[in-house]
């Protein structure tokens, strides 16, 4: 990850917005987008009560998850050119099978760094849904890029920014698979060649994004299956969003 001046991947809406790699200098602002949108409005955050004002600790723990994830060098953001504001972000993670006897990234972070029941429940949900389909075995690969958290400020929704970030995540992953663009990637990950992009689409909106850019649905799980604090997820989530999709874009 660069200190500043993140790589330019493209422009949107006649140059009004730039898609860039996340850098150290704009990481905090990128994390703030989560506080102002994702943690308040994303389906599983609502189901796990991460959106409630009193559960600040859960939001801080998930911010830290994203801060560490950004060190991989594969996260992207959208900046509004006129104001210089970060208005949309995709926190992406290079995933691979850990050495024997070690936990994978999400489980290790959950066990070592997450104390709040709300953030633990969200991570348990992610871990469980991921585990239902062994994408590496299914596609005979040992590395992939996970589009972990995708967020846009409410003031900039319906502009296709999230869809663009998902598409550029595919482009970035394809470069890495070809051994290109390694200068911004964490040194320990430069030998990895991801063969796919995966995601958990948790709303009907993100599911439409995935369908538009040809992600394949691997599994669908109903929110009626999951519980937190005495209620099924579906009791807190809007009826517009009935299930989560585990998806893949194979390069």
Report angle CA 23, 25, 28 to the nearest 5 degrees. 95
Q: Residue 182 belongs to a domain with what CATH number?
A: 3.40.630.30
C-alpha 185, offset from chain centre: 17
Q: Is position 85 within any domain?
A: yes
Q: For residue 70, give its domain range.
A: 8-250
Low-confidence residues in the chain, pLDDT < 50: none
Query: CB of 196 within 8 A of CB of 215?
Result: no
Q: Is position 23 within any domain?
A: yes
Q: Is position 105 within any domain?
A: yes
Q: Looking at residue 101, what is its pLDDT?
A: 87
Query: CB of 109 within 8 A of CB of 65?
Result: yes
Q: Tell me: the pLDDT tens digits for 84-101?
A: 999 999 999 999 988 888
Q: Is position 91 within any domain?
A: yes
Number of domains observed in the structure of the chain: 1
Q: Is 219 exposed, middle or buried (0-12, 13-18, 19+ CB in 10 A)?
A: middle
Global pTM value = 0.96
Q: Is position 227 within any domain?
A: yes
Q: Looking at residue 39, what is its pLDDT?
A: 98
Report angle CA 110, 32, 122 to the nearest 5 degrees. 25
Q: Is position 119 within any domain?
A: yes
DSSP letter at 52? S
Q: Is position 3 within any domain?
A: no
Q: Is position 125 within any domain?
A: yes
């Amino acid at each position: 990850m660069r200190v500043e001046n993140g790589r330019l991947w493209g422009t949107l809406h006649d140059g009004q917005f730039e898609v860039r790699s996340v850098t150290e200098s704009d990481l905090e602002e990128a994390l703030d987008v989560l506080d102002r949108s994702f943690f308040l409005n994303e389906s599983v955050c609502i189901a796990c009560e991460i959106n409630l004002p009193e559960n600040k600790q859960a939001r801080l723990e998930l911010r830290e998850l994203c801060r560490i994830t950004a060190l991989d060098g594969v996260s992207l953001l959208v900046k509004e050119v006129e104001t210089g504001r970060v208005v949309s972000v995709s926190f992406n993670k290079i995933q691979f099978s850990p050495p024997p006897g070690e936990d994978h990234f999400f489980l290790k972070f959950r066990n070592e760094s997450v104390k709040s029941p709300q953030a633990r429940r969200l991570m348990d949900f992610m871990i469980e849904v991921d585990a239902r389909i062994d994408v590496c075995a299914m596609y005979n690969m040992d590395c992939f890029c996970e589009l972990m958290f995708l967020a846009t400020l409410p003031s900039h929704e319906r502009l296709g920014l999230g869809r663009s970030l998902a598409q550029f995540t595919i482009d970035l992953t394809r470069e890495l698979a070809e051994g290109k663009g390694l200068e911004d990637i964490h040194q320990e990950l430069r030998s990895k060649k991801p063969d796919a992009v995966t995601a958990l689409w948790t709303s009907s909106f993100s599911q439409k994004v995935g369908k538009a850019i040809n992600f394949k649905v691997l599994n669908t799980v109903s929110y009626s299956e999951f519980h937190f604090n005495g209620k099924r997820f579906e009791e807190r989530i809007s009826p517009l969003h009935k299930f989560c999709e585990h998806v893949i874009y194979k390069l």
